[in-house]
Amino acid sequence: MSFPFPPRRLAAAYSAAAGALAFAVILSGCSTTTGHAKAEGAAAAQAATTSDSLAETTWELVSWTDANGSAMAVPGNNGNPPVGLAFLAHKGKDYRVAGFSGCNRYMGNYRLEGGKLSITVPAATRMGCPSEQLAGFETAYLKALGRISTFTLDAAGAPRKMTLNMQEGGVMTFKRGEDAPTRL
């Protein structure tokens, strides 16, 4: 039986291919990922300009006032996660928001461009709420996330507080939670 290539040439080709594969694997370990906006000083003003600025951060709702300035009751944990949201990134291009809305978990998409935050009205699981009041809160919360007019962070470099102002005049205030441990 004869080989179309001499064995030495074939071995050299396999060796070169294995070397290229090993090099590619090593380089993939050096890739960077996006995370927290860590801008300081003059650069802090630029921190809230891309979706990556919020990627991998979590926020817990601490207060919510309606358009008339009346406080809305924010549900306690009662063994559930706090009402809040997490900004997640998948491969630096697919930006999602997820969280717990009082009865159910939800997920949607978000964009942050030029300092403007937009969240698609999130879709939620369909577990029944234990009370009509909590069901009403959850419905209003999910709708409000899709109606943000402006938002502010207390410090662009390492924000601890985020305020979402709704189109109809309501205001949600969030405190920074434990940041997301992994990417989507």
In terms of domains, do 14 and 67 share one? no
Instruction: Determine contact, residues 92/34, Cβ cutoff 8 Å.
Output: yes
pLDDT band at 36 (very low <50, low <70, confident <90, very high): very low
Structure tokens at 137: 């809160």
Is 75 in the same domain as 1?
Answer: no
Task: Judge if 156 and 126 occupy the same domain.
Answer: yes
Alpha carbons 72 and 113: distance in angstroms, whole number = 30
Q: Which residues pair with 89 in a beta bridge?
A: 95
Confidence of residue 143 (pLDDT cuts 50, 70, 90): very high
- CB distance 129 to 135 below 8 Å: yes
Mean pLDDT taken over the chain? 75
* Whether 65 contacts 71, CB under 8 Å: yes
Q: Report pLDDT digits (tens) over 5-28.
A: 454 544 454 444 444 433 333 333
51, part of any domain: yes
pLDDT value at residue 80: 87
- 83, two tokens: 């009402």
Query: Closest by alpha carbon to 88, among 64, 63, 105?
Result: 105
Residue 72 pLDDT? 93
Q: What are 74-126's pLDDT values in tens digits?
A: 998 778 899 999 999 887 678 999 999 999 999 999 988 877 889 998 889 98
* Mean pLDDT across 42-48: 43
Residue 90 sits in the same domain as residue 58: yes
Residue 171's CATH number: 2.40.128.270
17 Cβ neighbours under 8 A, 6+ residues apart: none
In angstroms, the CA 139 to CA 95 distance is 23
